[in-house]
Amino acid sequence: MEIEQQVWGFTPAGEAVVLYMMRSASGATVSLTNLGAGVVSLTVPDREGRLADVVLGYDRMESYLNDPAAMGKTVGRYANRIARGVFRLDGQEYRLAQNNPPNHLHGGPDGFGNRVWEGRVETNRVVFSLISPDGDQNYPGAMGVEVVYDWDDDHTLEITLLARADAPTVVNLTNHTYFNLAGHASGSVLGHTLRLNADRWLPTDVTLIPTGELASVAGTPMDFREAKPLGQDIEADFEALCFGGGYDQCWVVRDWSQGTLVEVGQLCDPVSGRSLTIASTQPGVQIYTGNYLQGTPAGKGSRPYANRDGVAIECQGFPDAPNHAAFPSQRLEAGEIYERHIVWKFAVC
């Protein structure tokens, strides 16, 4: 395993943005940056052994500054939405920015995805760390966070998300990479097939806040228990698809239990033959079919991305869990270790 690093540029505040590349024995690579502790590129072979970059992203470091698509980034303190930016903890109300009106999204306008993290190289891994002070974006408690990326010669990337706070708080971390297994510049992903190990999903209101119901996928466009093309039902006359402009919902991972790594599902591109199998210790998975990618900065190779050119598969806690006592808790006690794992295994289908 080779790991190279270079300064990519500097933020307006003068912070160094570093690019890290991990290269396996076969030549497959993962490129990461400390700006948002994110994934910039990921090259893996197709069924003929040809390498291609299968994640969306930008050539220019500046495009990642306050990127509304959160391209490849680690998002938090709380990934996804919190209703009206309000939650209560131990009897105290906390009010967060409504940066996705009327809701709070991905930790706010200065969430973790928009920070420059400290980066370091260890044996076969890259580690990013961040200190989030008490009151950061109005969240309680000072919090230390680490994101660990492990890449191996078997084309498997493991992401470990760690956090610890000095006071009770809430936390929900995930990675926000958009995949296109045909190659990042290949256009629509609606021909990709997706299978999810999920029998239930979370219906939402029109602002994409869960109602609290865990609904069966049976007989609905939300049923991915058997692999089907992402585009098969995306235009169906179904309320949730109208609300999100396509898929932008959370599914309940089957057989989830705290701390247990379980298979979430598999994405496959039938043209290139590349497949991605996802496993996680998280209770939910948000599928977002890039319904509003148009208008983002020019992508790699100056390729403008269109809507649905990538799909984000975000393993995470449930949206708005601090306001739903029946959801798996995202509360973190003082001194407790938050540890979650996401594993991406690339192969051919």
Catalytic residues: 176, 314
CB 245 within 8 A of CB 315: no
Amino acid at site 147: V
The three state secondary structure string of 220-258 is CCCCCCCCEECCCCCCCCCHHHHHHCCCEEEEECCCCCC
Give Cα separations from 23 to 15, 157, 212, 259 (angstroms).
26, 12, 43, 29
Which pairs with CB-CB distance under 8 Å and at least 24 residues apart come from 90-98?
Answer: 90/168, 92/140, 94/138, 94/139, 94/140, 95/138, 96/137, 96/138, 96/139, 97/137, 97/138
Q: Is 298 left (phi over 0), alpha (psi -120 to 50) or beta?
A: beta
Separation CA 30–CA 41 (nearest Å): 6
Sign of the CA dihedral running 100, 158, 192, 202: negative
